[in-house]
Amino acid sequence: MNKRVVITGLGVVSPVGIGKESFWNALISGESGIGPVTRFDTSALPTRVAGEVKDFQPTQYLDRKEARRMDRFAQFAVASAKMALEDGKVDQEQVNKERIGVVLGCGIGGMETFEDQARVLFEKGPGRVSPFFVPMMISNMAAGHVSMQLGLKGPSETVVTACASATNACGSAFRLVQRGECDMILTGGTEASIEPLAFAGFCAMKAMSTHNDDPKRASRPFDKSRTGFVMGEGAGILLFEELEHALARGAHIYAEVIGYGCTSDAHHITDPAPNGEGAARAMAKALGDGGVKPEEVSYINAHGTGTEKNDYYETMAIKTIFGEKAKEIAISSTKSMTGHLLGAAGAIEVMASALAINTDTVPPTINLEEPGEGCDLDYTANEARKLPVDVAISNTFGFGGHNATIVMRKYKE
C-alpha cells in the first residue's frame, strides 16, 4: 500500500523575501520583487529588469570558505534546505539520515561560475582556470552540497527539465516517499542565472518583458499588455515526509501531496503544444493519480509566465480539463510578483499552493488590468482572496515540451 506524503517544512530564498514568512506575506500583500538589474550593465539590452534576490548573505548559512567554493545557485539551495529543516522542527540527532533524501530541480546550474571562468580562460589562459570550476558549475552540486552539509545519506538526485525542473523533482520525491523508500526528502529547486550571457540569450529569443520604465509592473501574466516573462532567481525547498513519521514527531502539516502527472508535448523547442494539449494531459494525469475529480479543485497556481502563447494555451488547457467549472476556480500566477525562477519556479509555486491550503488564502495575479485575448478565467486579479482551499494544483511547463503538475489537499486524518 502506498504511503501518504505530507509537507512539514518550508525554506525559501526569493525576490520577494527570504524565509517562509517574508515570502508569504509579500505574496498575499501583492508586493512585486521586480526591479532594475543591479548585477551587471544592461544598457545595451532590450530588457533591463529582473527579480533579483536582495540582502542574501551566504555566511549566515555557511562557513565563509565553504561559501566561496559554491556557486550562488548552490548557496541558495543550502540556505533554503536549512530553513526547511528548522521550519519542520527536525531534530537531526533523532532521525535516520540514511532514510532522508535530497531531490532538487535546476534548469541551468552555475552560470555565474561558468561566465567567470570563461573570462579567465580567454583573458589569462587555461592554466588559470580554477580547479573548482567544474564542481561549482554542474547542476547536481546544489543537491550534493545540501546532502553534504546536512549529512543526508538517502537518494540525492537532480532533475533538469528546464522550467519544469522543480515540479518534476517534487514529483520524484513524492514517489520515493510514497513507495516507502524514504522517511523524508528535501525537494524543490534552485536557480541563479541573472548573469550577462543567460540574460542576453533570453533577450535574443525575444522572450522577456520590455516594460523597463516601470519594473514592478513588468511581469503581467494574462494581461493584454504583457510583453514576455521577467527572469527571477532563488530557491525553494520543501520537506516531504511520510505521514506516520510526521505524526510520530508531532510535525505541523501544511498540506498533503496526493498526485503527480508529467507529459511531453513532443512539439517544439520553446513553444507549447497548440491548445495546451500536453499541459492538459499533465493535469489530467495528476488529478487521476490523486483520485481527485475536477470539481473538487479550489485553486490553481498557474505557470502563467506572461508570454502570449503560454498564458493563452494554459487557459485553454484548464478549460479542457475543468470545463464549465474552470470559470469558478481561483487561479493565480505568483510569477507576477516573483518573476520566473526558471528551474526553481515550480518549487516556490508548490510552496505557495501549500500555503494557500494551509491559510485558506489565494495569492493574487498583480498587474492584471485588462485580460488578454482568450484569457477569460478568474485569475484573482490584484488582490489576495480568502476562501476555503481544500485542493490545489501547481502547474509548470518547460522549454523542450516538459509539463508537470502537482496536486495537494488539506490534510485530514
Same domain? 195 vs 297 = no
Nearest CA to 106 among 9, 19, 199, 187?
A: 187
**Interval 235-291: pLDDT, tens:** 999 999 999 999 999 999 999 999 999 999 999 998 989 889 999 999 999 999 999
- With beta carbons less than 8 A apart as the criterion, state whether 374 and 223 touch: no
Position 69 scores a pLDDT of: 95
Within-domain flag for 236: yes
Average pLDDT of the residues in 296-313? 97
Instruction: Give the residue numbers marked as catalytic.
Output: 163
Same domain? 153 vs 207 = yes
Structurally, the chain folds into a number of domains equal to 2
Within-domain flag for 413: no
The share of the chain scoring above pLDDT 70, in percent, equals 100
pLDDT at 4 over 90: yes
Domain that holds residue 192: 5-248
pLDDT at 338 over 90: yes
Same domain? 143 vs 273 = no
The CA distance from 207 to 187, in Å, is: 28
Average pLDDT of the residues in 34-58? 97
Within-domain flag for 255: no
**Interval 124-142: pLDDT, tens:** 999 999 999 999 999 999 9
The share of the chain scoring above pLDDT 90, in percent, equals 98
The CA distance from 317 to 311, in Å, is: 10
Within-domain flag for 169: yes
Within-domain flag for 253: no
Position 169 scores a pLDDT of: 98
pLDDT at 78 over 90: yes
The CA distance from 196 to 200, in Å, is: 6
Position 210 scores a pLDDT of: 96
Same domain? 129 vs 229 = yes
Give me the CATH number covering residue 244. Answer: 3.40.47.10
Within-domain flag for 52: yes
Domain boundary pick from 191, 223, 248: 248
* Full-model pTM: 0.97
Position 8 scores a pLDDT of: 98
Position 408 scores a pLDDT of: 98
Within-domain flag for 152: yes
pLDDT at 1 over 90: no
Domain boundary pick from 195, 217, 248: 248
Domain boundary pick from 205, 225, 248: 248
Same domain? 216 vs 289 = no
**Interval 371-389: pLDDT, tens:** 999 999 999 999 999 999 9
Same domain? 108 vs 208 = yes
Same domain? 320 vs 379 = yes
Within-domain flag for 410: no
pLDDT at 369 over 90: yes
Query: What's the grid cell of residue 211?
Result: 516594460
Position 131 scores a pLDDT of: 96
Position 413 scores a pLDDT of: 85
Position 75 scores a pLDDT of: 98
**Interval 99-114: pLDDT, tens:** 999 999 999 999 999 9
Same domain? 123 vs 42 = yes
Same domain? 169 vs 49 = yes
Mean of the per-residue pLDDT values of the chain: 97
The CA distance from 10 to 89, in Å, is: 11
Same domain? 236 vs 279 = no
The CA distance from 257 to 6, in Å, is: 6
Same domain? 203 vs 330 = no
Same domain? 289 vs 205 = no
The CA distance from 398 to 343, in Å, is: 9
Average pLDDT of the residues in 40-58? 97
